[in-house]
Amino acid sequence: MDLRALYPISYGLYIVGSRKGDKINAQIANTVIQVCSEPPTISVCLNKGNLTHEYIKSSKVFTVSVLAQDTPLNFVGNFGFKSGRDINKFENVKYKLGETKAPLVLEHALSVMEAKVVNEADAGTHTIFVGELVGAEVLKEGEPMTYAYYRQVKRGTTPKTAPSYVEQKKEKEADTKLAKYKCSVCGYVYDPSKGDPDNGIKPGTPFEKLPDDWTCPVCGASKSEFEKL
Ligand code: FE
C-alpha cells in the first residue's frame, strides 16, 4: 500500500467553533465538506483529543469560518497550534455568537455558517460530525485558503513531490548564502528570501539578524526553537 496516494487529495482551511455551556472554543480544521444540499448539510472531522471536539459532543452545535487565502500565519497559528485549554483564543479576535450561541470567527473569513449536529460517526482517533445548517452568511469576496497553499506558500514547507518545488529550487540558487531555519515545534520554515512580512521582517533578512524577541509566526515559539536546514 502506497500511502502517498493520499497526498494529492485537496482540502480547504477552516476555523471550526463550538461551545460548552457559556464557554467557547475554536480550532483549525481542513476537513469541512458539504455533504447534502436539501436540507443544506455539512460535516467536519475532528480529533477526539481536541477541546472543540469535547464542546461539540456537549452542545451538539458547531460553526465554520471559511478562511481567505491571505490570512496571516499567526492568525492560523493562534487557532491551530494552541489549545483553548491553555489560552483564550478569542482575545483580540473579531467574532460574534450565532443563533446556536457558538462563536463565528469573522476575521479573515470569506463566509461563516453554523450547524446543529444530526449525526456522528466514530472514526477511530477522530469523530465525523454531520450538521444541518441553521445559519449561513457571506462576508466578502475572495480566494479561499487551501491546505496545499497554506503548507507550500505560507509555511514554506514544500514537499519535493509538489508542482511548486521547481520554483522553490530556482529561488534557492539565487539565494544560496542565506540559510533557512525550521521551527522544531510546528515545522514552519523561515526563508530569508521571503522574510516574515506579516511581522515587518523584510525579504533578505538572514535568520541571525532577526530581533531577539522575534517568534515563530505560526506557533509563537522563540528563536532558540529553530534549527538550521
Ligand atoms: Fe513554530
- Residues 18-47 pLDDT 10s: 999 999 999 999 999 999 999 999 999 999
**So what's the pLDDT on residue 172?**
52
DSSP per-residue codes, 157-219: ---TTSTTHHHHHHHHHHTTTSPPEEETTT--EE-TTT-BGGGTBPTT--GGGS-TT-B-TTT
Residue-level pLDDT at 171:
52
Cα–Cα dist 121/127, whole Å: 6
Distance, CA 221 to ligand 1 centroid (Å)? 5
pLDDT at 178: 87
Kindly give the distance from the C-alpha atom of residue 81 to the centroid of ligand 1, in angstroms, as a whole number: 8
CA angle 48, 148, 25 (to 5 degrees): 35
Report d(CA 149, CA 158) in Å as an integer.
10
Centre of ligand 1 to C-alpha 77, Å, is 8
Q: Which residue did the predictor score with more confidence, 164 or 63?
A: 63
Give distance in angstroms: CA of 112 to centre of ligand 1.
27
Look-up of cell digits 515563530: 216
How far apart are the CA of 118 and the centre of ligand 1, in A? Answer: 36
Q: Measured in angstroms, how far is the CA atom of residue 98 from the centroid of ligand 1? A: 32
In the reported structure, the alpha carbon of residue 16 is separated from the centroid of ligand 1 by a whole-number distance in angstroms of 21
d(CA 99, ligand 1 centre) in Å: 35
Instruction: Express each pLDDT in 144-194 by its tens digit.
Output: 999 989 887 777 764 444 444 445 555 555 555 789 999 998 889 999 999
Q: Grade residue 73 by pLDDT with cuts at 50, 70 and 90.
A: confident
CA of 184 to the centre of ligand 1 (A): 7
Average pLDDT, rounded, for the chain? 90
Model pLDDT, residue 81:
84
Q: What is the mean pLDDT of residues 6-19?
A: 95
What pLDDT digit, counting tens, does each position of 100-148 carry?
999 999 999 999 999 999 999 999 999 999 999 999 999 999 999 999 8
Q: Tell me the CA–centroid distance for residue 65 and ligand 1, in Å.
A: 23
- With cut-offs at 50, 70 and 90, classify the pLDDT of residue 15: very high
Question: What pLDDT is stored for residue 167 in this prediction?
Answer: 53
Say which residues have a Cβ less than 8 Å from residue 111's Cβ, sequence separation at least 6.
Answer: 65, 66, 136, 137, 138, 139
Distance (angstroms) between ligand 1 centre and the Cα of 87 equals: 16
Q: Are 194 and 203 in contact (CB under 8 A)?
A: yes
Quote the pLDDT of residue 170: 54
Q: Count H helices, E strands: the chain?
A: 4, 12
Model pTM? 0.81
